[in-house]
Amino acid sequence: MSDHDHHDDGVSRRRVLECMTWAGTGVLWTISGGVPHSLGLVGSAAAAEPSGLTFLQISDSHVGFDKPANPNALGTLEEGINKIIAMPKKPSFMIHTGDITHLSKVAEFDNAERIISQAKLDVHYVPGEHDFIDEEVKLYKERYGKGTKGAGWYSFDASGVHFIGLVNVVDLKGGGLGNLGAEQLEWLENDLKGRSKSTPIVLFAHIPLWTVYPEWGWGTEDGGRALEYLKGFGSVTVLNGHIHQVMQKVEGNVTFHTARSTAFPQPAPGTAPSPGPMKVADDKLRSMLGIASVNFKLGDQRLAIIDTPLQG
Amino acid sequence: MMTSATCRSLGLRSGFRSGFRSLGIRLAVAAAIVLPLGVIGAHAEDMKVTIDNFTFAPAELKVKVGDTVTWINHDDIPHTVVSAGKFRSKTMDTDNDFSFTFTAAGDYKYFCSLHPHMTGMIKVE
């Protein structure tokens, strides 16, 4: 993990990070003064009454997953969406960082859409590897690929912030990690060319663009090249999913953050034989939904992980 | 290249059943008829690769030309087996399997296209 771990704030952050293996509901982001801040999970974020642009990140809904780690992934997605609906201040939009479905089945996409649309927010998706496993690899693109390039990458602007959705789950090479590929990197370079360096950038993709744990494939082979194009920009925030737990680090002006899943937790790197779904006690899973929030503020240098259980 | 690949559910793991799907294997079976059936059966038993904890076991398997290898996924997460230009399974959900009959000698490196850090090797002699 990183240079931010050495601060002394009671229970050491490193220890908290190591222990963080829960599922959650969603992360609320707000941008004030051009700098994105995470306000933690929606429960606590609602109380913060953020001003300026706010947006939500949800990830890894795995609709269709029904194994012991969470027999009802659709139900926990719905709980997350209900919390969003209950927020007193409506966020501007939502991003979903992939693995909408578990097996790319039509019914799974339909169910996900039915639940997520209840939030009545624009949703900007990027695919996870679980969204591309239908026979013809067409369902994701039919639904969410409109206006995107290649396997589904795109960019858009909101309130002066430039958002870039990347796809790093296709054409993966044996023995390797996530992959962006030459075509997408070239597009990214052009997308950023000539853009004012004071434009805050939010980059989002499914698999972490930074190397979290290569032994479990948690990183992107050519993620470093993407980040090279972002050199010189004053504020860069990289949002990912895939690893079903919160991880974050700051490198210079780049903040990396991974979101929780709404479906099931995965173990912290190296703490289990594999990154597969982690079964916890039923009552523990429920209490984990929303027990942790993450705040970071650029300029503060300190990342704060706040343990905020919704129950108990 | 004469090969056969099937993705099917449990319970259909007879090497012969898959084998009849390709001419190459039909010839192999014709040749095998002169051998004691027990030898063929014992041999076929070994041609299995299991997936547990995001790992192929055995990581390397030696087989003979004409053998059928079956991969079975025991994880709660779907996996695939892909050998570039050689074979590609459908997505195997929990307890699904995939079989492939090797009709040419060589080293077949393969990986899971969803979790590419998962790699394995079939050596066909």
**Least confidently predicted of A126-135, A232-241, B23-32:** B23-32
Do residue B116 and residue A275 have CB atoms under 8 angstroms apart? no
Compute the nearest-CA separation of B109 from chain A (Å).
9
Q: Which among B77, B113, B119 is the nearest to A276, CB-wise?
A: B77
Q: Given a cut of 90, is residue A260 above it in pLDDT?
A: no
Contact A217 B78 (CB under 8 A): no
Give the pLDDT mean for A188-200: 93
Examine the pLDDT at A6 and tell me if it is beyond 80.
Answer: no
If pLDDT is split at 50, 70 and 90, which confidence band does A52 have? low
By the CB < 8 Å criterion, does B50 face chain A? no
How many other CB atoms are found less than 10 A from the CB of residue A109? Answer: 21
Residues of chain A neighbouring B75 (CB-CB closer than 8 A): 274, 276
Question: Chain A contact for B75, CB < 8 A?
Answer: yes
Digit-coded pLDDT (tens) for A73-115: 999 999 888 888 888 778 889 899 999 999 999 999 999 999 9
Confidence of residue A174 (pLDDT cuts 50, 70, 90): very high
* Least confident interval from A231-245, B12-26, B30-44: B12-26
Q: pLDDT value at position A189?
A: 98
Report CA A78 to chain centroid distance, whole Å: 17
> CB count, 10 Å around CB of B36?
9
DSSP state of B89: -
**At A156, which helix (H) or strand (E)?**
strand A154-158
User: Residue B123's pLDDT band (boundaries 50, 70, 90)?
Assistant: very high
Mark yes or no for CB contact B76/A173 under 8 Å. no
Which residue ranges form the domains of chain A, and what is each CATH number? 3-307 (3.60.21.10)
As a whole number, mean pLDDT of residues A211-228 equals 96
Q: Which two tokens stand for residue A267?
A: 């173990």
CA B90-B92-B94 angle, to 5 degrees, is 165
Tell me what the pLDDT averaged over chain A comes to: 80
Please give the torsion angle defined by the CA atoms of residues B111, A149, A157 and A55, in that order, rounded to the nearest 10 degrees: -40
In a 10 Å sphere around its CB, with 0-12 CB exposed, 13-18 middle and 19+ buried, how is residue A307 labelled?
A: exposed
Over residues B34-45, mean pLDDT: 44
Residue A288 clears pLDDT 70, i.e. is over it: no
The predicted structure's pLDDT at residue A55? 83
Q: Which of B77, B95, B115 to mutate to test the interface with A (most CBs of A within 10 A)?
A: B77
Mean pLDDT of chain B: 76
- Using left for φ > 0, alpha for ψ between -120 and 50, and beta otherwise, residue A101 falls in beta
Q: What share of chain A has pLDDT > 70, as a percent?
A: 75
Q: What is the pLDDT of residue A182?
A: 98
Q: Give the span between the Cα atoms of A65 and A264, in whole angstroms.
A: 9
Statement: residue A172 has pLDDT above 70: yes
Structural tokens at position A249: 């680090």
Q: Which of A173, A176, A275 sits opposite B54 (nearest CB)?
A: A275
Does position A11 have pLDDT exceeding 90, yes or no? no
Distance from CA of A67 to the nearest CA of B (A): 7
CATH class of B4-124: mainly beta
* C-alpha closest to that of A64 among A27, A110, A26: A110
pLDDT at A57: 87
pLDDT(A41) > 50: yes
Task: Give the pLDDT of residue A88.
Answer: 79
Q: Which of A93-102, A218-227, A296-305 has the lowest mean pLDDT?
A: A296-305
Shortest distance between the Cα of A58 and any Cα of chain B, in A, equals 20
User: Looking at CA atoms only, how far is residue B37 from chain A in angstroms?
Assistant: 37
CB contact under 8 A, B119 and A103: no
The domain limits of chain B are 4-124
Q: How many CB pairs under 8 A join A and B?
A: 59
| B82 reaches A (C-beta below 8 A) | yes
